[in-house]
Structure 1
Amino acid sequence: MVGSTAALLTGCGGGGGGGSAQQLAGDSGSTSPLAAYLGTWQSACDNHDRQLLVIALKSDGSGSLELTPTGETYFKADCTGPVVATDGMSAKITGKPDGTADMPIKLAENAAATNLRVDKVTSSVPAYTFQRSGATVQYVLRDGKQQWCVNVDNGESCMWDEGMLPAPSIPGGLSLHGNDLYSVVLDPKKGVYVLDVHYVKK
């Protein structure tokens, strides 16, 4: 199977690095409207893969977020046992607040839309590369493309090395319901916001 590096670059963004323990835990004196999102979040297991997202406030006092997505590949398809590969990005992503809006979002493929209050965030990042690491990860040339591959219990998991990628600016947003965090992105073809990733608090 070939993993998509694009899964790491969600609408709420992400990048290398993180924040201090105080930033991650949240500062009771913070005035950022996005402070409720601070912490570490994880997605459901998806055939060996799970996405992690660490959200911190930027240290420049701007009220913007710094988001760090990480992909974990497990040896077993149900995401138990050892993590055999970790995916990340070479640059930090900034999430700039862009107001709030009520939006109808489909939270499952065949479900009716649910009205969510979304904190809109525009994510930006300088030019970046994806990276994959792990003790058994191999960097190989397959079908004319450089890939990182690692053995899993039913074969191997590979991720293309796409080289240096241009700096994007992505309209998206975050919506919090209890321990459930929904990231949404603007679908440029339809002109509406759609569900990107569903996370739960780790």
Structure 2
Amino acid sequence: MSSTAATTMEALNSDLKKTLRDFMEQTKDGENQHFDAVLSKISSTLTFCQALTNENAQLLKSNNSLKSTHDRLVHGIAEINVCDQDLQAENIQLKQENGELKASNNDLVKKVVELVQTCEMKEAEKQSLEQKVFELEGVFEFIQTCEAEKKALEQKVVELEGLVSSYEAAAAVGQQDEKN
């Protein structure tokens, strides 16, 4: 009950007691004429007291509801605080993991750069080898051409040797005919 309601109830209680004392004195003296007025005053005081009692009950229900809401809010805040602590711990862990991933990423970037450089060197070596193969193919074609020319020359040498042998044989026959 609120302090205002308690003060009002005390005042009404005091009024009621005074009215009852007045009524008792009047009835002792045989004065019943004010009986209806006293009863009316008592009735209105009781009605007002009943209204205050009802209001007090409503306020008590409201107060209990507010206390329940307060308890739920306190419990919810406690849960939020626990969740906040959990999230802070998880945030610290995620920051550590993020740092590790950044370091790992930097290592991977360095390796990729090294691989790109290696690939570029290998590509240059490949192009150099392709150029050498191309040059060797030219040399090989030249050698084949030279061999073909050599065979043709050898064939001509054989033919010329055959002609020379024929001339020598004819000359030898001609010399023997002259001697004879």
Return the TM-score normalized by structure 1: 0.17
Which of structures 1 and 2 has the larger relative contact order (alpha carbons within 8 angstroms, sep 6+)? 1
More helix by share: 2
| The structure with more radius of gyration | 2
Return the TM-score normalized by structure 2: 0.19
